[in-house]
Amino acid sequence: MHYRPLGRTGMKVSPYALGTMMFGAHGNTDHEDSVRIIHQALDAGINFVDTADFYAGGETEEIVGKALKGRRDGVVLATKAHLPMGEDPNMRGNSRRWLTRALEDSLRRLGTDHVDLLQIHRPDPDTDIEETLSALTDLVRAGKVRAIGTSSFPASYLVEAQWVAERRGLQRFRTEQPNYSILDRGIESEILPVVEKYGMGALVFSPLAGGQLTGRYRKGRASDGRREGMFSYLGDERRLDAVEQLLALAEKSGISLTHMATAFVLAHPGVTSAIIGPRTKAHLDDLLAGADIALSDDVLDAIDAIVPPGTDIGRMDMVFQPPALTDPGLRRRPAAQRAAADAPAA
> Are 2 and 41 spatial neighbours (Cβ–Cβ below 8 Å)?
no
> Are 185 and 314 spatial neighbours (Cβ–Cβ below 8 Å)?
no
CA 205, CA 174: separation in Å to the nearest integer? 17
CA 279, CA 26: separation in Å to the nearest integer? 10
Q: Is 16 an active-site residue?
A: no
Contacts for 95 with CB less than 8 Å, ≥ 6 apart = 124, 127, 131, 132, 135
> Are 117 and 146 spatial neighbours (Cβ–Cβ below 8 Å)?
yes
Closest to 271 measured CA to CA, from 15, 10, 1, 3: 15
CA 287, CA 285: separation in Å to the nearest integer? 6
Annotated catalytic residue within 55, 157, 198, 233 = 55
Look up residue 23 and give its DSSP letter. Answer: B
One-letter amino acid at 177 equals Q
The catalytic residue positions are 55
